[in-house]
Amino acid sequence: MKVYFNNSCKICKAEIDLYKKEKINEIDWIDITNNEIAEKETSKNSKQLLRRLHVKDGEKVLEGAEAFLLLWKKMPKYNFLYNFFKLPIIFHIFSFGYELVAYFLFLKNKKQLRKLTEEK
């Protein structure tokens, strides 16, 4: 499983660093910053990758709240989050909340997006 995250976003990096400490061998952590290989592997452009967390499991690419569910499911220490947030009503609230936070983080990191598009 590959987790595609924005390492240049301080908030994103802090959260992913917590997960990396779990040392789950079956998870590859991929920084999407200036990463054309990540774009090819996910069939997403840099803007889409910056907008949400992405997880690729086999050939399937999940994003946003669904990506977090899969990530937490694979991590014993965070499995309780999976069990709670997968509940239908809770998942819809979580998904909405995630989209709000992710959107504002995306706006915060717009400067990075401009830099990426200028380089292409």
pLDDT grade, residue 9 (50/70/90)? confident
What CA–CA distance (Å, rounded) separates 61 from 111? 26
pTM, two decimals, is 0.88
Structure-token match 């803007």, residue found: 47
Residue 120 has pLDDT above 70, yes or no: no
User: Residue 5: how many CB atoms within 10 A of its CB?
Assistant: 25
Residue 36's pLDDT is 93
What is the domain range of residue 35?
2-119
Instruction: Count structural domains, the chain.
Output: 1
Range 82-110 average pLDDT? 94
CA angle, 7 then 9 then 14, to 5°: 75
19-38, pLDDT tens digit by residue? 999 999 999 999 998 899 99
